[in-house]
Chain A
């Protein structure tokens, strides 16, 4: 069964450093998302991406964050200068079509720990 894969599973980084979280969405999907879940809190939407551009982003997704699809298969989330409060599980997701009447398939997540 096709699945969304994320690497690494766990990333530890020093505050102020840049990190790149990687995702390989399901191959025929066209819409890509990043969500995060701070420990003990709810899953929060960060950004959606379609046709090589951001289609929607939340207030969390500030100038420190960026996304790109560099090679047609990977979908990356970059945090330029990490802060302690960026520590969270980051989930990548993809979906086949646009609109809310379609389910998104999630990866297993990358646990980011900023020290």
Chain B
């Protein structure tokens, strides 16, 4: 039961270019979405979030876009830096479901110098 999907297991991008990581969800009850970054041997680190009342949230080099009708969100990183190389997890939650987050399987981003 994959409620949150990240269909690209990996992505390679040249340094300085834009990285676009995609996430799709199936549960229309989800109303809050987060992106976490994870380095090897570390726990997930919160990156950026978006509520369903918005369609865009920006924080420095990171922008998340939400298309509710398509049940799709994306994370844009521009410009990409080698230190951005990590696994990126999309996570979703629903106010009526409590506090648990449903994670996608992750996308491994490699930023090449």
Contacts and interface: CB of A to CB of B under 8 A. Distances in A.
Interface residues of B, number: 27
A43 interface: yes
B99 A99 contact: yes
Interface of A: 4, 6, 31, 33, 35, 41-45, 48, 50, 55-56, 58, 91, 93, 95, 98-101, 103-109
A42 B42 contact: no
Interface of B: 31-32, 34, 36, 41-46, 49, 51, 89, 91, 93-95, 97-106
A68 to B, nearest CB: 18
Contacts of A99: 95, 99
B105 A56 contact: no
A4 B44 CA distance: 11
Contacts of A31: 99
Q: Which 4 A-B pairs have the closest CB atoms?
A: A106-B43, A100-B93, A100-B32, A43-B103
